[in-house]
A and B are shown apart, each in its own frame.
Chain A
């Protein structure tokens, strides 16, 4: 431990900024310290292949096979050597939520999010505006000077940059919609749209009035105006904070983060760096409080257990838990936090443990468990198999108590082996499915 940075700190920041830490990572980064850990997260070396060599996933065809888009992305989350970049890609997928367009378009949009994950917000916003998935979903493509479609303009202000009703009026939405006219379909390959194109003759060249400014504004002027609107930094800072931290954002911290954001020329990395370094991210280290989002819970489990993405069940499991990647419920994205914890979502987390424990590597076959292990040895064995997940003292006591009950049930000699295997199976399941497993 260097400078008050323990393995618990490493596990916390690796979960929040990524998908958890292995035992090896926890030791290594606690030794190297806070500064080195955050530098590694924020500025990973320029690996050409940012994926760990193993565990290799099943054969995937993300563009064509049902559900493989989800599996493909989850595999990246499991094997990435740049966890923060992947986590921020998930942030942008939620922020610029898009659904109901062809999968190849969504995969291309995903690459846009990843490339701009921690860069300049205006640059990312511009790429998103010209992205064919966004343009299709929010009717920017085909919005024509005589009949401007307000869909993109409205969500741009309401969800992407300002917040509902903050700093804009209905008139601003209509005028921005005029300024945003002119996009049409660009290149296509095999019936799939590859790009959008700005067609000047479809654009309304007239004078518009947006946020009190007058001019012959075009699409990029609209983006410039919304980013310059003084309501914008607060929206973005609040959203980033609550993605990483579940403690309230106090005013002085918020103002400082807004200052960092605008002072950097609207770059994301300095703001995220401040958040990851903030003491509130490390609150309650002995009892985590933030609910794991479904894909984060599953990717983290597959990473810690070294199972990898070997079965296609993870598509419907994560969907049943309430988060179907590439299909957010609406352009507003998912509702995060305790809202994930419906009892139905919880039941699917129980099912997720069933699916995991049915796979080679975690499955306990009859006779696998040595006889005469003490309860604590059983628990240590289960913890090691799962990559040492967090479990409260109360949960560990409950698991030890279960062992005693099983021992009492195993009257005859042949049942001692059954009891040993059942103990191991039940412990592993409960370590993955009980309430403690759902928070980080």
Chain B
């Protein structure tokens, strides 16, 4: 419920900041009821109460070094041209975007490209530092042929891994259906408030977690042994399997809420003053919702929970129809700081070799600025892989500013399904054709250091 804000452009995927909401609640309320999202578990099949951590531990024990793929979504359509600036074409760019593009990009050695200056902020020189250390590979001009400029449609294509109007599972959900377990929802995690459609599965259980500490079910007016018995009665009332979808979904949600409440107890702070069992040594930026989500994720990845794929929706809006310069400086800068802290944290926890992060947005933006100091929906966006084992550099050709398509948009230089296929084959070690229909036609590009 933002008040007295400037009229904003289409904020289709702008999520209300949880931090803003927390600010107005009293400390008492927060302590009393544990405001905020806890754990959301979705599973098509029934899980027996009490089996969750057993399943997780068994899975982790079976494959302690299994690779983990993290997908980070920047909502709204992140602009390529101001994020990774083509310095060779800088004159043309500035003609198209007077006063919009940043004045002093950070030149990337050995290339003719420059990063948005906000990406130099953060631990170890931010994303610029990570690039310099060979831990980021950029994918300029990524998209698909004849891009759909609807946020919803295009985002759905990326989430499902299919350019199709069919309602299907997410591409990482399909991977879990094929290679995941039947009984460990923690194998596919959305860090944050809701489950990403990228993780929608046909059967494999998956979960969303914002903070394990908020997951506890407790009856406020019924305490001690009485309360424990009442919460057990709640669990028992949820042990039913109605036929209709509505009651079945309610019973399942109750069952899993109880199960997770019990089983995530080891990662819960006992009270406000006791230490956070998931705490690490790296300081994350404050007042940064993306960082909060990545911090929880890094903490959970370091536990033997059997996490294989994870998603994070970044906070902020990249749908920069107006005021692009200020928005990118703030929101892109915040994302860069969060991602560089995340990478440092994974290293400090000794799990960086197991984690590859893929950062993406649903489309790019038009080269020519509009009258509001912003840019409209366009083709050819930007994505990147980052991690200790990511192949650093610029991984495909940069689109030309003087050879645009009929809509005056950039020409697409790489199909996102080529990248998905590469991630599945080179990082997860599985056949991309199981997940991406017609994977062979898209081919692959090297993304992972040998």
Contacts and interface: CB of A to CB of B under 8 A. Distances in A.
Interface in A137-158: 137-139, 141-142, 144, 146-147, 149-151, 154-155, 158
B250 A354 contact: no
A147 B373 CA distance: 13
Nearest to B152: A332
Interface in A338-358: 338, 341-347, 350-351, 353-355, 357-358
A288 B250 CA distance: 12
A81 interface: no
A285 to B, nearest CB: 13
Interface string A179-213: 00000000000010000000000000000000000
Nearest to A338: B249
Interface residues of B, number: 79
B11 A350 contact: no
Contact of B233 (A100, A137, A287, A430): A430
B35 interface: yes
B25 interface: yes
A8 interface: no
A401 B193 CA distance: 36
Given A343-B253, A343-B256, A291 B370 contact: no
B229 A409 contact: yes
A149 B41 CA distance: 40
A235 interface: no
B150 A154 contact: yes
Contacts of A405: 229
A158 B150 contact: yes
Contact of B371 (A147, A288, A345, A425): A147
A151 B221 contact: no
B148 to A, nearest CB: 9
B219 interface: yes
A99 interface: yes
B165 A164 contact: yes
A99 B11 contact: yes
B153 A354 contact: no
Contact of B221 (A165, A316, A342, A358): A358
Contact of A354 (B5, B33, B237): B33
A364 B252 CA distance: 30
A346 B250 contact: yes
B236 A398 contact: yes
A291 B249 contact: yes
Nearest to A311: B29
Given A343-B42, A344-B208, A100 B37 contact: no
A324 B237 CA distance: 28
B39 A150 contact: no
A436 B1 CA distance: 31
A383 to B, nearest CB: 16
A284 interface: yes
B237 A316 contact: no
A341 B321 contact: no
A288 B222 CA distance: 29
B237 A430 contact: yes
B40 A398 contact: no
A126 B190 CA distance: 40
B237 A395 contact: yes
Contacts of A346: 250, 253-254, 257
Contact of B7 (A101, A344, A409): A101
B40 A345 contact: yes
B39 A422 contact: no
Given A100-B5, A142-B372, A435 B238 contact: yes
Interface in A100-150: 100-103, 136-139, 141-142, 144, 146-147, 149-150
22 contacts: A67-B1, A101-B5, A139-B9, A144-B371, A151-B9, A246-B245, A287-B242, A289-B246, A316-B29, A316-B35, A332-B152, A338-B249, A344-B257, A346-B253, A354-B219, A406-B226, A426-B233, A429-B221, A429-B222, A429-B230, A434-B238, A439-B246
Interface of B: 1-5, 7-16, 21, 24-25, 29, 33-42, 149-153, 165, 193-195, 207-208, 210, 215, 217, 219-222, 225-226, 229-230, 233-234, 236-238, 240, 242, 244-254, 256-257, 260-261, 321, 370-372, 376-377
Q: Please name the 3 residue pairs, one residue from A and one from B, whose CB atoms are nearest each other, closest first.
A: A338-B249, A344-B40, A346-B253
